[in-house]
Amino acid sequence: MSKIEDGTYLGEYSNSPVKARVEVNVVNHKITEINLLEHVYALGEKGEVVLQEIIAKQTLEVDMKTGATVSSMTIVKAIENALEGEK
């Protein structure tokens, strides 16, 4: 995260039928907030807990949630796309 400049980053990822669109705020090279702008899922709402884990751990390497693995992975990939899209 130390290479990510301060700013607001938008990203999305689709893994049909699951889709996520996020807004990631970075201050002092740390993720301070992640807004889930869109999350289309079947049974994966509990996958949204990865948002808090990413902020707390300051890494995208978090455990995927059992029963919401695809949803968790889709959200993480949307965040990754947001942060990498601004390089």
For the chain, give every domain's residue range. 7-85
Distance in Å from the first CA to the final CA of the chain: 12
Find the DSSP H helices in the chain: 50-57, 69-85
pLDDT in tens, 18-31: 999 999 999 999 99
The top-level CATH class assigned to 7-85 is alpha beta
**60 and 79 Cβ atoms separated by less than 8 Å:** yes
Residues 46-80: tens digit of each pLDDT: 899 999 999 999 999 999 988 899 999 999 999 99
Comparing C-alpha atoms, which of 16, 10, 12, 83 is closest to residue 44?
Answer: 16
Q: Which two tokens stand for residue 35?
A: 């807004």
> Are the C-beta atoms of residues 12 and 19 closer than 8 Å to each other?
yes
Q: Which residue has the higher pLDDT, 30 or 41?
A: 30
Say what the pLDDT of residue 86 is: 54
